Amino acid sequence: NSNKAQNVLNIDSPYFIFVGRLEKRKNIVRILDAFNKFKQKSKTNHKLVLAGKKGYGYNEIIDKINESSELKKDIIITGYIDDKKLANLYALSDGLIYPSLYEGFGLPVLEAMASSIPVLTSDIPTIKEIAGDAAFYVNPEDVEDIAFGMNKIIQKETREALVLKGKDQVRKFSWKKSALIILNYLEEM
């Protein structure tokens, strides 16, 4: 692993990453609560990187972070980030945390798998269609379940199994198939 991403953001400890617009439907307030529980139980020095633009409900996310001095020191918000930096951030992270409440396509799930990192995500049909058996699924409305998942994906055995399955899963997605899924999604909107 190169240290480029760590140099870009000066992250000197292990971290999870969330990628996407920082908005309500992405379930970020619950991610923060779960991360807090994970930190209390695991006693690790993990950080959580939130990579994405501000969206609807952003103030609620900031309020949640500001409520806790613990959270404040362990959350890194990048704002918009270019593809090159993002690729490095994925590759150096301990996993994608993506328990979205509602999802159209869930491109970060495939990006994370292509980056050889484990994925924790929602047990909702649209994501299951994309991730198959290559993700650790949680109930997106259950903070305890999300926290449990965070702890699970840093375990060597789980991590290695998910990374291997993720590589296979990504291979199933040709650009043509991905385009058809996206097109189908857009037509439903």
| Angle at CA of residue 81, ends 45 and 15, nearest 5° | 10
Report the 10 Å Cβ neighbour count for 97.
Answer: 30
- The string of pLDDT tens digits covering residues 68-119 is 888 899 999 999 998 889 999 999 999 999 999 987 778 899 999 999 999 9
pTM to 2 decimal places? 0.89
Element (H, E) at 141: none
Residue with tokens 């619950």: 30
Are residues 5 and 85 in contact, defined by beta-carbon separation less than 8 angstroms? yes
| Percent of the chain with pLDDT strictly greater than 70 | 87
pLDDT for position 70: 81
Are residues 89 and 5 in contact, defined by beta-carbon separation less than 8 angstroms? yes
pLDDT at 3 > cutoff 70: no
pLDDT for position 186: 65
Q: What tokens appear for 162 in the block? A: 């998910």
User: What does the DSSP 8-state code read for residue 80?
Assistant: S
